[in-house]
């Protein structure tokens, strides 16, 4: 089957190329101006980084691999500073480029390194995980974590292109793959109910990269994100809906010192947001039940520790969607009907958390 191309519009449009065995598309996304290309890759993925480097070398680029730690350990200031030093040693100019290869943490880091080097050089992202393909690599949000919270330091820097080679999904650990499904399910609840129907029809297939609907699920989730970010690059308006479930999710990740899978946290966060909507009189109970059913059918969690609430609530105070002292939550008024809940009462917040406690 040929590749699928999804355009992400806006002031700096680019393509997301989706298919199997599509590394040959990489030079075309990168363009012909660059001389030196720094390939930032997760150190645990040399078998994927090598063919990426090979495709670029055959196209005539001077290629240099810069490995970084796997997972969230990559998204630290010290690792970022190490990349800057690496770029300097390579003599990278404003027309040279970065290619980020790995999961969402690696592409977040590579994107921020590119955004901040010489105030911005081109970057092409090659996500190798389901989460990276449908969320982190699309949309131009880059960043790192600090002890006070996740993604609090970063920049908006749209890539020159995104290459999603579905063949890399086959090598993913099962739990990591299932974690990525949370962002696909999120896209279903906020914008594309067909996603939910595909998973409900075959949850076992959805939980496997070899499932019959895998490509369609990826394409639909990418299309949802492309449509939203094209209209709002800097998250000043409708893009906020992509944060459905993320306010509590980011607090859980911080509580777990970022050792908790992002998708697992988002799954719990979506159930929490659904309960908030129900208790606020905006969302029917049947839709809340559907959240739990769809998420649990593919093996995602829907509850968290009851004793964690005080710490989680304190962390949510510095959530990026807050405005001053006012908390803002993305909630639903129905499937594919997202909206905002601003300044909810503390009793409502606590009552919703009790519904997801164990």
User: 126 and 111 in contact (C-beta within 8 Å)?
Assistant: no
Q: Is 142 annotated as a binding residue?
A: no
Which residue in 208, 199, 148 sits closest to 178, CA to CA?
Answer: 208
| Residues belonging to the chain | 358
Tally of structural domains, the chain: 2
Q: Do 155 and 115 touch, CB atoms closer than 8 A?
A: yes
* Strand 123-127 versus strand 36-42 pairing type: unpaired
Q: Which of 171, 201, 231 marks a domain boundary? A: 171
Do 34 and 66 share a domain, yes or no? yes
CA distance 354 to 175: 26
Question: pLDDT value at position 321?
Answer: 55
Residue 253 labeled ligand binder: no
Contact (CB, 8 A) for 190 and 242: yes
Quote the distance between the C-alpha of residue 299 and its chain's center: 19
Q: Is 346 annotated as a binding residue?
A: no
Decide which of 142, 171, 200 is a domain's last residue. 171
Cα-based angle 45, 145, 142 (whole degrees, multiple of 5): 70
Judge if 228 and 332 occupy the same domain: yes
CA-based end-to-end distance of the chain: 45
336 is in an annotated binding site: no
CA distance 131 to 29: 21
From first to last of its 358 residues, the chain has per-residue pLDDT tens of: 689 999 998 888 999 999 999 989 999 999 888 999 999 999 988 888 999 999 999 999 999 999 999 988 999 999 999 999 999 999 999 999 999 999 999 999 999 999 999 999 999 999 999 999 998 878 889 999 988 888 889 999 999 999 999 999 998 999 999 999 999 999 999 999 999 999 999 999 999 999 999 999 999 999 999 999 887 666 666 789 999 999 999 999 999 988 899 999 999 999 999 999 999 999 999 999 999 999 999 999 999 999 999 999 999 987 655 555 689 999 999 999 999 999 999 999 999 999 999 8
Residues that are catalytic: 119, 141, 183, 225, 235, 239, 243, 246, 250, 262
41 labelled ligand-binding:
no
Distance CA 239, CA 242 (A): 6
Report whether 229 contacts 318 (CB < 8 A): no
Is 171 part of any known ligand binding site? yes
CA distances from 70 to 11, 55, 86, 139 (A): 32, 23, 18, 22
Range of 295's domain? 174-355
Same domain, 134 and 225: no
Burial class (CB in 10 A: 0-12, 13-18, 19+), 173: exposed
What is the C-alpha to C-alpha distance for residues 43 and 345, in angstroms, rounded to an integer? 45
Give the integer Cα–Cα distance in Å for 220 and 334. 19
Is 159 in the same domain as 209? Answer: no
Instruction: Render 85-141 in DSSP notation, one character per residue.
Output: HHHHHHT--TT-EEEEEESHHHHHHHHHHHHHGGG---EEEEE-SHHIIIIITSSSE
CA distance 42 to 194: 33
**114 and 212 part of one domain:** no
343 and 217 assigned to the same domain? yes
- Of 124, 151, 171, the residue that ends a domain is 171
Which CATH number characterizes residue 81's domain? 3.40.50.1970
User: Does one domain contain both 132 and 205?
Assistant: no
The CATH number of the domain holding residue 295 is 1.20.1090.10
Is the domain of 224 the same as that of 142? no
CA atoms of 350 and 352, how far apart (whole Å): 5
169 is in an annotated binding site: yes
Q: 104 labelled as ligand-binding? A: yes
Shortest CA distance to 221 belongs to which of 332, 132, 99, 103?
Answer: 132
Is 150 marked as binding a ligand? yes
Instruction: Clarify whether residues 119 and 107 are in a common domain.
Output: yes
191 is known to lie in a ligand binding site? no
Whether pTM > 0.75 for this model: the answer is: yes
**112 and 218 assigned to the same domain:** no
Same domain, yes or no: 30 and 62: yes
**What is the per-residue pLDDT for 324?**
57
What percent helix, strand, coil does the chain show, rounded to 5?
A: 50, 20, 30
Tell me: do 278 and 178 sit in the same domain.
yes
Query: pLDDT value at position 268?
Result: 98
């Amino acid at each position: 089957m040929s590749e699928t191309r999804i355009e992400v519009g806006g002031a700096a449009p680019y393509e997301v190329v989706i298919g199997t065995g599509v590394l040959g598309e990489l030079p075309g996304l990168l363009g012909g101006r660059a001389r030196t290309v720094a390939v930032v890759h997760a150190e645990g993925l040399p078998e994927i980084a090598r063919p990426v480097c090979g495709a670029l070398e055959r196209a005539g680029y001077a290629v240099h691999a810069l490995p970084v730690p796997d997972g969230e350990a990559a998204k630290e200031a010290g690792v970022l500073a190490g990349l800057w030093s690496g770029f300097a040693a390579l003599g990278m100019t404003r027309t040279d480029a970065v290619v980020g290869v790995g999961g969402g943490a690696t592409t977040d880091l590579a994107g921020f390194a590119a955004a901040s080097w010489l105030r911005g050089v081109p970057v092409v992202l090659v996500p190798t995980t389901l989460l990276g393909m449908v969320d982190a690599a699309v949309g131009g949000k880059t960043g790192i974590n600090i002890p006070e919270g996740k993604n609090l330091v970063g920049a908006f820097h749209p890539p020159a292109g995104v290459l999603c080679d579905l063949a890399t999904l086959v090598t993913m650990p099962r739990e990591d793959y299932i974690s990525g499904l949370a962002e696909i399910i999120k896209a279903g609840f906020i914008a594309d109910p067909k996603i939910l129907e595909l998973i409900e029809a075959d949850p076992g297939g959805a939980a496997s990269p070899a499932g019959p609907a895998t490509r369609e699920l990826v394409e639909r989730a990418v299309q949802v994100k492309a449509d939203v970010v094209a209209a709002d690059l800097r998250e000043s308006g409708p893009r906020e809906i992509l944060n459905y479930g993320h306010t509590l999710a980011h607090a859980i990740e911080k509580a777990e010192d970022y050792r908790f899978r992002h998708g697992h946290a988002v799954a719990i966060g979506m159930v929490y947001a659904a309960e908030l909507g129900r208790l606020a009189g905006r969302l029917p109970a049947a839709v809340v039940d559907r959240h739990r059913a769809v998420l649990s059918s593919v093996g995602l969690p829907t509850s968290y520790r009851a004793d964690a609430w005080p710490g989680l609530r304190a962390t949510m105070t510095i959530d990026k969607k807050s405005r001053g002292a006012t908390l803002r939550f993305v909630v639903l008024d129905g499937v594919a009907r997202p909206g905002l809940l601003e300044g909810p009462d503390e009793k409502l917040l606590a009552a919703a958390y009790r519904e997801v406690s164990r």
